[in-house]
């Protein structure tokens, strides 16, 4: 038997481009204050050591600055710049995640406990938003299955439901009825247990900035971005397919599965191509966002037009 020993990366070896650029800008009083206000707020401590993952794509990662300044996080507003601008109002420490429902041992975890639950890995993942843009993001996290195993799902646990923090005083967007808050997402249990579905705690080797879903979010890289719910406070194992926030808002536009599929268009946006942020020419969108070898088996025999 051969054991795969992943190489260790020291976080300091990683260069978050945007940060270096910004640091160079930090020179004089007023300019320094203005630039500092733009830096992501991190209430969490440094991340423990992490490993390079065998699941990373070889695609070139987007810059740190691109990833923290072009976001969808409607709790902070609907413009791409709103999350970076307003993210300072979210408090992520202390933070707990409750795991309940069809489980033998319901549990509550704080972030420190979650960080110690399994070895952290850097996973460089493709991210495809249903709006037609994409990015490549170096997340730090581990497979969601590590957490689910801790609570021992019962045989009735067919789906997993995730809920974002409800706090209108911290999330200006929740003071408007854009969605039926709180944001809720869901996965089928086999999808949730798939090693590619990860809980994310960090980005470019640092704790997650608030605009990217601090202190803990999901990344499900073969599905459209909206499945990757941010700032999670509750995980519930359930028997019935969860009612998700986007499905409630527009059931004909946001199906439960939402696997990336260039052959099935969204009513308002073609899914055949995508624009990688930072690139000029469009790329062809890949089935399951390029993760078909790993995930297609879960959907064998399913009509992916019907179950979009
Ligand atoms: N709670 C919450 N999670 C969310 C969203 C949101 O508005 N609220 N937007 C989703 C969408 S549409 C996308 S594309 C991704 C964007 O993640 P990123 O800003 O880190 O790239 O987050 C997803 N998770
Ligand atoms: Mo999205």
CA of 223 to the centre of ligand 2 (A): 10
Three-state SS string across the chain, please? CCCCCCCEECHHHCCCHHHHHHHHHCCCHHHHHHHHHHCCCCCCCCCCCEEECCCCCCCCCCCHHHHHHCCCCHHHCCCCCHHHHHHHHCCCCCCEEEEEECECCCEEEEHHHHHHCCCEEEEEEEEECCCCEEEEEEEEEEECHHHHHHHCECCCCCEEEEEECCCCCCCHHHHCCCCCCCCEEEEEHHHHHCCCCEEEEEECCEECCHHHCCCCEEECCCECHHHCCCCEEEEEEECCCCCCHHHHHCCCCCCCCCECCCCCCCCCCCCCEEEECCCCCCEECCHHHHCHHHHHHHHCCCCCCCCC
Report the nearest-CA residue for atom 4 of ligand 1: 229
Report the nearest-CA residue for atom 6 of ligand 1: 73
**Domains along the chain with CATH numbers:** 12-299 (3.90.420.10)
Q: Which residues line ligand 1 (CB under 6 A)?
A: 71-75, 127, 129, 164, 183, 212-213, 225-226, 228-231
Q: How many CB atoms lie within 10 A of CB 157?
A: 20
In the prediction, which pLDDT does 26 show? 40
From 66, 181, 209, 213, the mutation candidate for ligand 1 (largest count of ligand atoms within 8 A of CB) is: 213
d(CA 88, CA 13): 27
CA of 293 to the centre of ligand 1 (A): 25
Contact 150/159 with Cβ under 8 angstroms?
no
pTM: 0.89
pLDDT digits (tens, 9 = 90+) for 189-237: 999 999 999 999 999 999 999 999 999 999 999 999 999 999 999 999 9
Atom of ligand 1 nearest to the CA of 73: 7
d(CA 303, CA 308): 8
Q: Which ligand is nearest to the CA of 167?
A: 1
CA of 228 to the centre of ligand 2 (A): 9
Q: How far is CA 195 from the centre of its chain?
A: 15
Mean pLDDT of the residues in the chain = 91
Atom of ligand 1 nearest to the CA of 83: 19
In the prediction, which pLDDT does 46 show? 81
CA of 83 to the centre of ligand 2 (A): 13
Report the nearest-CA residue for atom 16 of ligand 1: 72
Share of residues in the chain with pLDDT > 70 (%): 85
Question: In this structure, is the dihedral angle defined by the CA atoms of residues 26, 88, 208 and 124, taken in order, positive or negative?
Answer: negative
Atom of ligand 1 nearest to the CA of 71: 19
pLDDT digits (tens, 9 = 90+) for 62-90: 999 999 999 999 999 999 999 999 999 99
In the prediction, which pLDDT does 15 show? 43
In the prediction, which pLDDT does 14 show? 46
In the prediction, which pLDDT does 21 show? 38
Q: Which of 77, 102, 65, 97 is nearest to 173 (CA)?
A: 77
pLDDT digits (tens, 9 = 90+) for 132-153: 999 999 999 999 999 999 999 9
Question: Which region among 3-12, 159-168, 169-178 has the lowest average model confidence (pLDDT)?
Answer: 3-12
Phi, psi for 238 (deg, rounded to 5)? -135, 165
Report the nearest-CA residue for atom 19 of ligand 1: 71
Q: Which ligand is nearest to the CA of 80?
A: 1
pLDDT digits (tens, 9 = 90+) for 40-54: 666 666 899 999 999
pLDDT digits (tens, 9 = 90+) for 106-122: 999 999 999 999 999 99
């Amino acid at each position: 038997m051969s054991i795969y020993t992943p190489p260790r990366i020291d976080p300091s070896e990683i260069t978050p481009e945007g940060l270096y650029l910004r640091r160079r800008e930090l020179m004089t009083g007023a300019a320094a204050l203005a630039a500092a206000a733009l830096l992501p707020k991190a209430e969490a401590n440094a991340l423990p050591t992490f490993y390079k993952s065998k699941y990373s794509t070889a695609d070139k990662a987007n810059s740190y600055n691109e990833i923290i300044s072009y976001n969808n996080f409607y709790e902070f507003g609907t413009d791409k710049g709103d999350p970076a601008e307003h993210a300072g109002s979210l408090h992520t420490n202390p933070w707990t995640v409750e795991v309940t429902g069809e489980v033998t041992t319901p549990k509550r975890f704080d972030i420190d406990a979650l960080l110690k639950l399994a070895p952290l890995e850097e996973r460089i993942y493709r991210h495809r938003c249903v709006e037609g843009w994409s990015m490549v993001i170096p997340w730090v996290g581990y497979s969601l299955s590590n957490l689910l195993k801790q609570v021992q799902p019962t045989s009735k646990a067919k789906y997993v439901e995730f809920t974002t923090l409800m706090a209108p005083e911290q999330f200006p967007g929740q003071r408007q009825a854009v969605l039926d808050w709180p944001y809720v997402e869901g996965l089928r249990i086999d999808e949730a247990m798939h090693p590619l579905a990860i809980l994310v705690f960090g980005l470019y080797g640092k704790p997650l900035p608030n605009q990217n879903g601090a202190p803990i979010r999901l990344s499900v890289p073969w599905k459209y971005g909206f499945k990757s719910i941010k700032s999670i406070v509750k995980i519930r194992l359930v028997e019935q397919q969860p009612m998700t926030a986007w499905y409630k808002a527009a059931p004909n536009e946001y199906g439960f599965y939402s696997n990336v599929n260039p052959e099935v268009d969204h009513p308002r946006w073609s899914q055949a191509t995508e624009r990688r942020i930072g690139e000029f020419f469009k790329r062809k969108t890949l089935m399951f966002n390029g993760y078909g070898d790993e995930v297609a088996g879960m959907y064998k025999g399913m009509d992916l037009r019907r179950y979009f």
